[in-house]
Amino acid sequence: MVLLEMSIVPMGAGVGVSQYVADCIDLVDRSGLDYEVHAMGTIVEGELTSVLQLMQSCIEKMAEHSDRVSCVAKLDFRRGTTGRLKAKVDSVEKKLGRKISR
């Protein structure tokens, strides 16, 4: 399984791009993959091919609004594991002995 963190924005679309981001989050939500949205991007968990195809779809969606799209992505591949989207944070909370802000 893979965790993919991605941040995709249309270049030259102005200061506020939340409507364009919402279009991508709609694609992420419809993908059926587990995900979390945060202030600076989105983390998706799934098989490598699935998350890469989703990222490509999001880039293509952004390209409908701009001739230039910026994408920052980070992958964490680990065989034989699932549920890491939550488990990684749970592990840190256990070590701290308390809940953290999510």
Per-residue confidence (pLDDT) for residue 57, from 0 to 100: 97
Interatomic CA distance for residues 56 and 54, integer angstroms? 5
Report yes or no on 102 lying in a domain.
no
Q: How confident is the model at residue 11 (pLDDT cuts 50, 70, 90)?
A: confident
- Which CATH number belongs to the domain containing residue 61 in this structure? 3.30.70.930
Q: What is the pLDDT of residues 26-67, one digit of tens each?
A: 999 999 999 999 999 999 999 999 999 999 999 999 999 899
CB contact at 8 A, 33 and 93: no
Report yes or no on 31 lying in a domain.
yes
Report yes or no on 53 lying in a domain.
yes
Q: Give the chain's domain count.
A: 1
Report yes or no on 78 lying in a domain.
yes
Q: How confident is the model at residue 77 (pLDDT cuts 50, 70, 90)?
A: very high
Mean pLDDT for the chain?
92
CB contact at 8 A, 26 and 76: no
